[in-house]
Structure 1
């Protein structure tokens, strides 16, 4: 109900109440006057006769004063309602969940004001969460840049201060510095990439893509990394499974998920990739055996720089951006990526549309 209709409804309601009050008062006054006239007729004395002769005048003055009181009461009512609304409006920006309470005739206004208050409260909470995430992002980014940068500077200073350092040791330190510098470059590149993906400034080059061939090729590329930990990879995918997608971006998605699966899998366990078609979508599941992710952390796993295991992440050289990048790419394709974890099994579900 819009404001104009609501105002008209309240106006009609007040008019009906006013009309009923006046009618009831007039009818009640008439009944009292008739009863009084009957009682006075029973007493034959000058006062009774005088009152009977002026009974209609008495009734008239009673109506005047009564109607005046009723009109005054209903004249004050809108002002009291307005005062309630003003006080309620003053509570719209209060940082509490207590509902605004108004008089019964203002029920619709009360509901709308409570909806506005709740939306304002949720907006402020969302703004605070966004600010907290931004601060966390800056903190994590500063930490991740500083750590390899400190290492690079440290080894370069060491090389500068010891020009007569043995060649073997110099080569070792140079290699470590180069490795850390490359990790720093990778972090910066991924940060730029996820920023562009989030801003939707990346143009997808969609084409018909054989998903079966893509996943088989990816499995072959990951074989050395997977076998190094004693793990194995099994594919359960039907051939001739075609999607309309950006091949390069999709490879990035499944590579990031597989890297995560390899990093967090128990040694000598199997990583399973399955895919099937459901309606207009294809579902790809990547499952590995590893520590169970707490249910309250599942919603955070795609956040930038979220680390469920910092020690293991530093060992694998991850940047904390891989899953965030994967999520943004899948969203650009009109799909969805989720994760579930139970009984030491972690499964990533990727849902992609078959056509554009």
Structure 2
């Protein structure tokens, strides 16, 4: 945008330019009049002749007066423009909050930069309002999803515990079965609460990374070992293709949470009797992780939303597949904290997550 000095300089140049033009025109008129008067034969009794003699005798006085009056007129008309500019700008500012007006148009071309700034401000205000509405909607979604997802296991727990309380002569086998179900629902409830707590922490606080060096291959091997019971349920195999030793600087606990979420996602959405492939490479860009499993191909429309909070691939939130739809959202937040990127693609009954963590 033009500075005040530039605008003032432009105004002064306009005044000086008009003053020079006015001076030149005035002198040209005087010279033309002088030449025309010299070619005419005058008589002493002619009133016009006496008037011209009066002008000639007082030219030293009249010429400065004409110049000063002309300069004042020029300055007056030039100084009127800032007031017109001001009125134009005030009208533009008033139109910033006009929802029926898409763009602001100032009348004066000299205010083109101001016009662009007002339109940018109007666009920023509209974007901020949309962001505020989205934040409010997310907060409302958090309450709705929290109520729904916590109510389901809680209702089951209350139901089975009520049966155990009211049925005094219930068979031991049924008793143990109901206790097992109630315990499973309680653990499910704990997992959901932990997920909501995690996403709230990432949304409300700026957590500094606690960086340290770790053998990232060893971390993945340990995680795969801990997942063996889950692999067994679906007869899955997990293969790790990585160097024997590779150190990586990262926040260990947060990155472990990322790998845990990705591996859990691979298990939940894998066909039975298939293999999960984990690949780790180091390049000039950094550390490249790939988690690939065999499962139903995910449409692109769903892939576009897969990292959003509370989004789940299954259409019913009552499904036991996956959690509250926060795992991938949390993973994305952690990866971005490490200045990395995460992508997902799906084709030919394959689901592939790619993670890039730059060298820190």
The residue that corresponds to 1:87 in the other structure is 91
Deviating more after overlay: 167-176 vs 253-262: 167-176
How many Å separate the matches in 2 of 1:302 and 1:9?
49
Candidates 329, 336, 341, aligned match of 2:340: 336
Task: Check whether the contact 1:37–1:52 (CA below 8 A) recurs between aligned residues.
Answer: no
Residue 309 of structure 2 corresponds to residue 304 of structure 1: yes
1:73 deviation in Å? 0.8
Q: CA RMSD in A?
A: 3.0
Cross-structure match for 2:262: 257
Following the alignment from structure 1 to structure 2, what is the Cα–Cα distance between the partners of residues 102 and 287?
60
Alpha-carbon separation, structure 2, partners of 1:273 and 1:233 = 7
Distance (Å, rounded) in 1 between the aligned partners of 2:18 and 2:211: 73
Deviation of 1:172 after TM superposition, in Å, equals 2.5
1:76 is aligned to 2:86: no
1:312 Cα deviation (Å)? 8.1
Contact in 1 for aligned 2:96/2:122 (Cα 8 Å): yes
In the alignment, the residues of structure 1 paired with residue 151 and residue 289 of structure 2 have an alpha-carbon distance, to the nearest angstrom, of 37
Query: Do structure 1's residue 30 and structure 2's residue 27 form an aligned pair?
Result: yes
**Structure 2 counterparts to residues 182-331 of structure 1, below 5 A:** 182-200=187-205, 206-279=211-284, 281-295=286-300, 297-298=302-303, 300-311=305-316, 314-331=319-336
Counterpart CA distance in 2 for 1:293 and 1:229 is: 20
Matched, 1:173 2:178: yes
Segment of structure 1 superposing worse, 231-240 or 91-100: 91-100
Superposed displacement of residue 224, structure 1: 4.2
TM-score normalized with structure 2 length: 0.84
Listed one character per residue, the Cα deviations across residues 172-217 of structure 1 (whole Å, up to 9, x for unaligned) are 3332222112211111122223333444576766543222222223
Superposed CA deviations along residues 4-53 of structure 1, whole A, max 9, x for unmatched, are: x8111111111110111121112112212322333344454635524533
Count of aligned residue pairs for this structure pair = 351
Q: Distance in 1 between matches of 2:330 and 2:277?
A: 22
Q: Which runs of 5+ in 2 are unaligned?
A: none
Q: 1:98 aligns with which of 85, 96, 103?
A: 103
**What is the distance in 2 between the residues matched to 1:285 and 1:99?**
49
Query: Structure 1, unaligned stretches of length 5 or more?
Result: none
| 1:143 matches 2:148 | yes
SS in 2 for 1:164: coil
- Render the CA deviation track for 1:120-178: whole Å, top value 9, x for unaligned: 23222222221121111221111111121222222333333433333333333332222
Contact 1:243 1:353 in 2 (8 A): no
